[in-house]
């Protein structure tokens, strides 16, 4: 279900009730509850952060799945987390 609101200066804001965050251009943005920092992912996988970064870089994850967010800090989405879980489960 979508609602379109006309704003001042003829800008259109589209609200998609399935997506928590929408900007004025109508593009859907990531739900921040589904984006994780390096430490969170490392804790979920029970590995060290340097090892996580090394493995993630070697997996050639896309920019949508994994990106640098500062010195030795990266952001991961749910897709990247799932791929990393599969990688570590296949090694057991």
**pTM, rounded to two decimals:** 0.66
Task: Pull the structure tokens for residue 4.
Answer: 């379109």
More confident residue, 17 or 56: 56
What are the structural domain ranges in the chain? 1-29, 32-90
The pLDDT of residue 5 is above 50? no
Q: Give the whole-angstrom CA distance, residue 73 versus residue 37.
A: 7
pLDDT at 25: 62
């Amino acid at each position: 279900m979508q609602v379109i609101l006309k704003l001042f200066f003829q800008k259109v804001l589209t609200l998609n009730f399935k997506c928590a965050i929408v900007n004025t251009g109508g593009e859907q943005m990531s739900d921040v509850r589904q984006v994780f920092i390096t430490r969170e992912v490392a804790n979920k996988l029970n590995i060290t952060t340097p090892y996580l970064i090394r493995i993630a870089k070697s997996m050639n994850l896309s920019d949508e799945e994994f990106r640098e967010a500062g010195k030795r800090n990266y952001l991961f989405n749910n897709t990247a987390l799932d791929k990393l879980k599969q990688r570590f489960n296949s090694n057991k």
